[in-house]
Amino acid sequence: MPNRFPILDFSFIFIAQYLFMSDLIQQKAASWLSAPYDEATQEEVQQLIRSHTDELTDAFYRDLEFGTGGLRGIMGAGTNRINIYTIGMATQGLSNYLNRCYPGQNIRVAIAHDSRNNSRLFAENVADVFASNGLDVFLFEDLRPTPELSFAIRHLKCQAGVVVTASHNPKEYNGYKVYWNDGGQLVAPHDKNVITEVQAISGYDAVKRNNAANRIHPIGNDLDQAYLEKVNQLLLSPEAVASDGDLKIVYTNLHGTGGTLIPKALKKAGFRSVYTVEEQDGADGNFPTVESPNPEEPAALDLALKKAKRIGADMVMGTDPDTDRIGIAVRNGSDRLVLLNGNQTASLLVRYILQRHTEKGTMPDRPFLGKTIVTTELINKIAEHFEVPVHTTLTGFKYIAELIREKETEGNFVVGGEESYGYLIGDFVRDKDAVSSAVMIAEMAVWLKSRQMSVYEFLIDTWRKFGFYQERLLSITKKGRSGLEAIASMMRSMRENPPKTLAGIRISEVADYQSGIISPGQKTTGLPVSNVLQFFLEDGSKVTARPSGTEPKIKFYISIKGPLTEEDTIEKAIAAMQMKMDALLKDLLPEQN
C-alpha cells in the first residue's frame, strides 16, 4: 500500500535522528563530569548541560578534527574545543608516531607559542606530554614568531616541532600546528599517518603525564641572534640602507609576537626610524584594540595609519599574532597612505629580489620560485622576464615548503608567496616569514628611494611592464555545524551544476582539484587532492572556490587581467576592473547580492 503520509514519516525520522544525536551529546558531555577532567572543566560542562543551548551541541557533537596541519578551534570544554585534553591527546598521538618513525633514537622536538589566551599553558602541557614519552623538548622561554619555530627545528636538528597558535583568527580561537624535521608543516605521508595515530587515542587516560621536567630545555636569546643573523644575510642593498636608514616606518604587532623580533631585525639591518603603536605593543590575547588581529583586514591597521599620518611616516607595517603574515601601507601619488594587498606586495618583492640579484650578478644557480594556485599570475610574468621558473602549489605554505624540500638538491629557492599576505625569502625558514619580509620590504623602499621612485610608483611600473592584474578575496563565514553543512552544499552545487558563463564571459575550463580533473579534455591537475574548484574564463580571468581548512569559511578568489595604457589613469583602470569583479561575483553568488 502506498505511503499516504510521506512528509509525516520524514518528520518522524528527523525527530528520531535529532533525539539520538542529542542523547549521544548528553552522554559525551556527562563523561567529562569526573576525573581525569579538572574541577573547572567539570563546572564548565555542567553549565553547558544546564543551559540546553546550541553551545553544548557545538562543544560535543564531534571530536575536534586533527587535520593535515594540526588543530584549530574555539577554546573551552568539550571534545570539539581546544583545551589541554584535546591538545594532550593530539600530542600523545604525535609522540607515538615519532617513536615509531625513529625507534631507539634520541628524538628532539621544539615548541613555540603566540600571545593568545592559554597559549603558554597549552605549550607547557605539550612539552610535558612529549617529555613524558621520552622525547627531548626545546621550549621557547616566552612567546616567539612562528617562523622562528621553523628555524629552530632546523637549527637544533629536531625531528618535529609544534607551535601553539590560531594565527589571525578571532580571540576565542587557539590552535596547534605541527612541523616535521625540515621545518615545514606536515605533508604526505606524515600528515595522514599522524592523523591515524591521533585518532587511535581512545581518551585522555591514554595520555602520558609524569612531569619529566629534566627533558625540557628552554630556548632563549642565543637562538634569536642566530635567526636574526640569517635574516640580515638576505640584504641585497645594504649600501642604500646605510646611506638612508632614516626611512620612517610605523610598525604594529597587533598585540602579538612580532614585537619580540621585528624591531630588532629592522634595527640590525640599519633602519633607525622605526616607531611602534604603543596601544598595541603589549602581548594580549584579547586583542583589545582591534576587531580582528588580521593584517588582511584594513581596520586592523587603523591605529598604525593614524600614527603614520601624525608623524609623517613613509610606510606602515603590521603583523598578525604569530608573525607569519604582514600587511603594509605606502604613500601613493597624492602622498596619501594606501594599503597594498597580498598579491601586490608579493609581486613587488619578487620583482625587487630578482632584479637586484640580476643587477649584482648574485642570482643563485638554478633558481626557482614558489606560489599557490590562488596567487596572482603577475608573479609568473615577472619571473618569465628574469628567466626564473615558477612552481605552483596548492593553497597553503606547507606545499611551498614541500616544493623547496623536493627541489633543493637540484636548484635554489629564491622567493615565494601567497595572496594571504605570506612571503618567504631564502630557505632557512620553511614557512611564511613576516620578520624577514619586513626587512626586505623596508630595504626595497629605501633602494627605490635612492632611485627617486616610491613603492607605489614601482607597483604602477610593474603593472605597465608585466601586466595589469587585479584580485579580490570574498570570505563567507558559516559558523557551527549548520555552517559546515552549508559550505559543503555550496561546493556540491558548483560541482554538479557549474556555471557556463560569468559576467557574460564563457568559462573555458573547470579544474576540480578533488577529482584531479580539468574539464573539458579530462586533463589532470598534477597536484594533490584538495577541495578546490577553479573556473577559467576565455579572457584569462580566473575564479577559485575553496573552503578554508582552518576556519568555518568558504573563500572565493577573483583574479582578472585588463588593459593599462599610458593614457589610462590608474584610478580609472582600477575602477573598471572592480566593476568587472562585481559582475563576476554577482553571477557566481546571486544569493550574496
Per-residue pLDDT, 69: 81
Residue 295 inside a domain? The answer is yes
Residues 454 and 561 in one domain: no
Q: What is the mean predicted confidence (pLDDT) over 330-345? A: 96
Residue 446 clears pLDDT 90, i.e. is over it? yes
Residue 412 inside a domain? The answer is yes
Place of cell 510521506: 6
For 278-334, write each residue's pLDDT tens digit: 999 999 999 999 999 999 999 999 999 999 999 999 999 999 999 999 999 999 989
Residues 418 and 435 in one domain: yes
Residues 486 and 424 in one domain: no
Number of domains in the chain: 3
SS3 at position 38: coil
Q: What is the mean predicted confidence (pLDDT) over 366-376? A: 97
Find the angle CA(408)-CA(412)-CA(413) to the nearest 5 degrees.
95
Residue 2 clears pLDDT 90, i.e. is over it? no
**C-alpha count within 13 angstroms, C-beta hemisphere, residue 11:** 4
Share of the chain above pLDDT 90, in %: 85
Out of 464, 482, 511, pick the residue that ends a domain: 464
Residues 190 and 300 in one domain: no
Residue 48 inside a domain? The answer is no
Residues 506 and 454 in one domain: no
Residues 155 and 168 in one domain: yes
Helical (H) or strand (E) element with 547: strand 542-547
Residue 113 inside a domain? The answer is yes
DSSP string, 16-34: HHHHHHHHHHHHHHHTTSS
* C-alpha cell recorded at residue 330: 605606502
Lowest-pLDDT choice from 140-154, 222-236, 246-260, 554-568: 554-568
Residues 168 and 282 in one domain: no
Share of the chain above pLDDT 70, in %: 95
Residues 207 and 180 in one domain: yes
**Is residue 141 packed enough to be buried (19+ CB in 10 Å), middle (13-18) or exposed (0-12)?**
exposed
Residue 9 inside a domain? The answer is no
Paired strand residues for 173: 74
Residue 582 clears pLDDT 90, i.e. is over it? yes
**Rounded to a whole number, what is the distance in angstroms from the first to the last CA of the chain?**
47
Residue 588 belongs to domain with CATH number: 3.30.310
Domain residues for 521? 468-592
Q: What is the mean predicted confidence (pLDDT) over 251-275? A: 98
Residue 120 belongs to domain with CATH number: 3.40.120.10
- Catalytic amino acids? 167
Label the pairing between strands 367-372 and 326-331. Answer: unpaired
Residues 159 and 175 in one domain: yes
Out of 440, 464, 488, pick the residue that ends a domain: 464
Residues 418 and 559 in one domain: no
Cβ proximity of 376 and 467 under 8 Å: no
Residue 7 inside a domain? The answer is no
**What's the full length of the chain, in residues?**
593
Residue 50 inside a domain? The answer is no
Residue 85 C-alpha from the chain's centroid: 25
Residue 468 clears pLDDT 80, i.e. is over it? yes
Out of 158, 190, 219, pick the residue that ends a domain: 219
Residues 185 and 205 in one domain: yes
Residues 6+ apart with CB under 8 A from 396: 69, 185, 372, 418, 549
Nearest C-alpha neighbor of 117 from the set 293, 296, 303, 319: 293
Residues 284 and 371 in one domain: yes
Residue 177 clears pLDDT 50, i.e. is over it? yes
Label the pairing between strands 249-252 and 274-276. Answer: parallel
Residue 277 inside a domain? The answer is yes
